[in-house]
Structure 1
Amino acid sequence: MTIVSDRLKELRKSKGLSIQEAARKANIFKKRIEEYEANIKVPDYGHARSLADCYHVTLCYLVGHTDDPTEVIDVSHKSNKYAVLKDEDFSEEDEFLMRRSLSEVVHYMEWYKNEKK
């Protein structure tokens, strides 16, 4: 079992949701959630994002890069993609949100690459 399938199952159960209820809440087919929890399929970014939102956790937590469900590990200092945003005139809050989003995408992609090997 991968950490994602384990965490998806644990999160759903801790919220007291059936697979059907989680599917409805995350707007994902029930069969897909069953496949993710059974480690048959790997959730794509959209589904991983929807499930993380449904369970009120970060993608960093979902993919096992942290044990804190609210932590986003900032990787903006490691990414050239973030440097493009630094030239723009964004508010502090917008910059924080973009850095957080980018970090979550990077953590998901690192996990996804390893899962596909």
Structure 2
Amino acid sequence: MSMFGQRLKQLRKKRKLTMQEVADYVGVAKSTYAGYESGYRQPTIESIQTIARKLRTSADYLLGLTDYPDPPAEINHNAKEYLNVDKLHWDGVPLEKDDLDLIRHLLERVLRDRTSSKDD
């Protein structure tokens, strides 16, 4: 069985889905999907994307390009927004308002220094 097939089967079982459920979502016969898991068949790129959506993973993970099955949350996060969130913690240790103020100040300083060095 190929890495692709192993990962399909592993994630399908982890998500408690049947082959039929995934096959129906992708729009292929159960036997076709079973062929993907066994390595007997190769899905189209569109099918890989659809399967990844159903299994809540990335196509990169299914294809062996990464070893992280859970895709990262939206990458484009504004740190400033996070520092204004109540109940923020660092590995379970709550950050107090004073902590967050200090972190904000340090990040603003880093950004000021970075932009001033680009101007030179």
TM-score exceeds 0.5: yes
Q: Is the 8 A contact 2:15 2:55 kept in 1?
A: yes
State the structure with bigger RCO (CA 8 A, min sep 6), 1 or 2. Answer: 1
Structure 2 residues without counterparts, runs of 5 or longer: 77-120
Kindly indicate whether the alpha-carbon contact (under 8 Å) linking 1:60 and 1:71 is maintained by their aligned counterparts in 2: no
Q: Distance in 2 between matches of 1:38 and 1:31?
A: 10
SS of 1:4 mapped into structure 2? helix
**Displaced runs of 4+ in structure 1, greater than 6 A?**
none
RMSD (Å), alpha carbons: 1.7
Partner Cα separation in structure 2 for residue 26 and residue 47 of structure 1: 6
Residue 89 of structure 2 corresponds to which residue in structure 1?
Answer: none
Tell me if structure 2 keeps the 8 A contact 1:4–1:62: yes
Task: Report the equivalent of 2:28.
Answer: 28
Residue 67 of structure 1, CA deviation: 1.0
Q: Quick one: distance in 1 between partners of 2:50 and 2:58?
A: 10
Quote how far apart the aligned CAs of 1:38 are.
Answer: 1.0
CA shift digits 1:37-78 (9 cap, x unpaired) = 111011110111110111011111110111112448xxxxxx
- Give the TM-score taking structure 2 as reference length: 0.55
**Residues of 1 paired with 2:63 and 2:41: CA distance?**
14
- What is residue 40 of structure 1 aligned with on the other side? 40
Return the index of the structure with the highest Cα Rg. 2
1:13 counterpart residue number: 13
* 1:5-51 alpha-carbon deviations (Å, 9 max, x no partner): 00011111111111111112333221111111111011110111110
Normalised by the length of structure 1, the TM-score is 0.56
Aligned residues between the structures? 73
Counterparts in 2 of 1:72-111, with a 5 A limit? none
1:3 aligns with 2:3: yes
Choose between structure 1 and 2: higher helix proportion.
Answer: 1
